[in-house]
Amino acid sequence: MSLSSRLLRAWYRDHPALRLLRPLELLYCQFARRKRRRFLDGELNTFVSPVPVLIVGNLTVGGTGKTPMILWLVDHCRARGLRVGIVSRGYGAKPPEFPWQVTADQSPAVVGDEPLMIAQRTGAPIMIDPNRPDAVKALLKAEQLDLILSDDGLQHYALARDLELVMVDAVRGFGNRHCLPAGPLREPIERIQSVDAVLQTGARADTEDGYAVQLKPSTLVNLVSGERRPLNYFSPGQEVHAVAGIGNPQRFFTTLETLHWRPVAHAFPDHAIYTAEQLRFQPAWPVVMTEKDAVKCREFATPDWWYLAIEAQPSSAFVSWLDTWLDGLLPH
């Protein structure tokens, strides 16, 4: 188990040893509160985009379903007649320069796995740069847009925002509710009170704490041929090697179990870089991985490798709430 995996487990189980990190947490919280206060008081050099910016972010470290939500937002906004683009940090990306516009034919080693996945799935314009204001400026120079989605960036106060959506894992919640390094919070817990909406990934119904978002498997896609198969392609009880290099791999493994398959779990660090040797498992059962992992494995995949496409399904109440906001962006 990697160090990051051990830390995540400790945070969400509130291991007693984490108390030793409380003095560091205190310093971290003071810095985070001071940074936000300076943002609110207009003391930071913050870029205000000429078109609205919608942040899809995390309050916690680890996977909460941001990428499926970004994909849903792209489709929904387009259906409303809006021209939408995306900015991303581009974690692990090594392009010739920043900012860099991602296209579907580029390498994940160059542009990062999540931006490439979004580009391949949606075809939407996407710009990567650790400096998000620079990414926004470059994207608007290249494209005519009505709305910009920021994949993560809740704590990136150099970029002003018009709407903040925070994704929360409904099962894991906020862990021990402590900030880094004693817990998984990127900002103190009271920050959740100031965002525009909380989306609870995996919740069955809306609650007073937020809107429900289900992550539903939709289809199996073959890495070699691109053929798409229904979820009953594998019979109940089928043994598969399950590969997940995401923030919360257990969610993926649990999803495969709900499909009545028998996954042998192979968890890797988030944004892991794979080799063919790493994924040459025995026995030779089919390999099923996440879509984010698939973009890094196509070059050496074998015919029995598949990814499970996942679709976000937010509650109708959230869709109505969002549409009210989007109405203000449409020409009258």
Q: What is the residue-wise DSSP string for 226-291? A: --EE-GGGSPTT-EEEEEE-SS-HHHHHHHHHHTT-EEEEEE--TT----TTTT--SS---EEEEH
Q: How far apart are CA 53 and CA 157, in angstroms?
A: 12
Q: Is 60 annotated as a binding residue?
A: yes
Tell me what pLDDT residue 169 has.
95
Nearest to 187 by CA among 198, 199, 177: 177
Burial class (CB in 10 A: 0-12, 13-18, 19+), 277: exposed
Q: Is 66 annotated as a binding residue?
A: yes
Tell me what pLDDT residue 281 has.
96
Q: Which SS3 state, helix, strand or coil, does residue 27 take? A: helix
Nearest to 175 by CA among 247, 68, 266, 256: 247
pTM over 0.85: yes
Tell me what pLDDT residue 63 has.
85
Tokens at 248, concatenated: 């919360």
Tell me what pLDDT residue 5 has.
75
Tell me what pLDDT residue 331 has.
66
Q: Is 62 annotated as a binding residue?
A: yes
Along the 332 residues of the chain, how does pLDDT read in single tens digits? 566 778 888 999 889 999 999 999 999 999 999 999 999 999 999 999 999 999 999 999 988 999 999 999 999 999 999 999 999 999 989 999 999 999 999 999 999 999 999 999 999 999 999 999 999 999 999 999 999 999 999 999 999 999 999 999 999 999 999 999 999 999 999 999 999 999 999 999 999 999 999 999 999 999 999 999 999 999 999 999 999 999 899 999 999 999 999 999 999 999 999 999 999 999 999 999 999 999 999 999 999 999 999 999 999 999 999 999 999 887 65
Tell me what pLDDT residue 221 has.
98
Tell me what pLDDT residue 9 has.
86
Q: Is 64 annotated as a binding residue?
A: yes
Which domains does the chain possess?
A: 9-209+314-327 (3.40.50.300), 214-313 (no CATH)
The total of other beta-carbon atoms located within 10 Å of residue 63's CB is 24
Q: How far apart are CA 276 and CA 296, in angstroms?
A: 11
Tokens at 112, concatenated: 């990062």
